[in-house]
Structure 1
């Protein structure tokens, strides 16, 4: 298996899978020796009649990630998801959740794991048709034994979170498919689990509604920072949602990485074939093409300093930041020259009406912004701190590299 070499040692591991194997059949032990010998899933089935669903898997999922399990039907992704919350018990291996091995737990301990630690959202909405929306959302809390007052408060908060406030007393049949899936999401969020398992959660929706739900999930994730393991067979969905993506085939993980790594450095011919034809302009984002944000000057500085940096770097403008590199705007050479003569401060001449983008903004969205702006583009993080600068030259160079790839 090929995995990104990025150093994630500083990130908390929420889910760790070690040597996980699942075999369907009456005599799974017959398949074990052939797994150790490295035979394929097909070869093992032909020899033993046992179906190797998962084959010696090893990976980690970090806190706050959307970790996408992607692959064709029958690759084992849904089986793996169900092993993680023990709806399916594996033959071998460890499933370590927040430092605790849950691969062998049973009874009340297993029930509590599903009640408090992990929530699952299925492709089918699995709503109770005879109950109102608020009662559907509160159902998991009811099972936990939460008081009526508290469970309805939490249910209302979750309903509001997914944009369905006002529909509390409606029935599922009165809602559209997208709204019903929001109810399923609200029900999962109401119990405030650390981990969300989502099995083809949006695949039953129409394309436009599906896109809206993907956007909704990303927006919620910015605020909630849950650990999400998301199963899909749709490459575009995986590329849009995944912090990291695991591409599976025949019960094995062929490659783990972020979207750019998988697209630009496929581990083998299967991965290469799987991702061919993807529009790289839609996948790569500002952080992939930006330059270091140099030079920057402090808002407390003066026009002389601004002109000095422009001369030293051979540029006609410079970005201004306040404490902690928080973005304030842009200073142009002609404005700095005029301010120097008139004794004005930088704060008096900062241009604040120029376009900026976030680190996650796609190149497809940056291109029209760049075309309409005579200035460099500032790249900001979620806290409006300067992370980089995009100029036309660096954007064109990135596009040229994509043509080569």
Structure 2
């Protein structure tokens, strides 16, 4: 069965995601799809609106066949390691023949050419410009874009591509494929109508960004009605159910403000320095900001510590790491370079069941259906992250917090499944 791989967050699953799924299947000529999905925290360092199980259910209702979880070790990383972890998981299934991502350009060839240049080395002048940009604290893609732009020539196209967030992420997918020597083919479909950061619901359309949908949902029941035209029926059904049950984080980070502030206040600066993504004295900036906050909240803290050098995304990931007590060798480059160590199944359709049957022969990693049956430090991080996330729900319950232990994968279309 020809299968295409997707790397997603579905926070929440909206009509734009459904369009991407449909076009990915068409572009790949595939019969089935596998989605590698971030769990309770997203790559931008934000707590997800819904549990990973609710978001997996949305995906299955819209036609995804198999949803597997990207370990939080990789989900809360800069683009390089986020992409590497997700691509490594798809490659490890042994059944995905391609990976299809949305991008502003909708083209793969320029990204492949750029990846080859980045891995094959550059001229001494370009290398010097790149080194200088990195020394200024820029990420590698941003540093490369700056250096390429300054050098002109073919670098201008690189700078243009790397100015687009999804093209930049696409570049990292291509780099990961090369690094893994994967046989999966990279494919791209152009993003349309709604940009990644578009904050408003467009009038008269059916596609809005996840940012706009979340903003509407934060307005309560009326906001959900406003967002309804931009959501598939399955997503709307899940959102209404989860909202009624008190299992939705419309307040975002503020829902976790108390435990986060406690985690920061009880750490000395030298302890904060051990948190992933803390560098260059940022621990002292955080420690100094805490007693000066006008109100004890996450937005106030972010406003106090954000600078041009420290982006909001980086700071949010840092805060998530601090909240979840992350650190140590597991978060080092050598550990990350080994990739995910298991394939965690969140849900599947009848086609997904067939894929899992094939994966028993093709998978390069253990397939985890029940968390209680597999013990690994990466999985323990996932379980704890889900528990912390669910603890912030208005109607938090122990079984929701530890659903990894209590709840089986979602089997879409199975009358024995409760749909959660």
Larger radius of gyration: 1
Give the structure with the larger strand fraction. Answer: 1
The structure showing larger relative contact order (alpha-carbon pairs under 8 Å, at least 6 residues apart) is: 2
Please say whether Structure 1 and Structure 2 have the same fold, judged by a TM-score greater than 0.5: no
TM bucket (normalised to shorter chain) is: under 0.3
TM-score when normalising by structure 1: 0.25
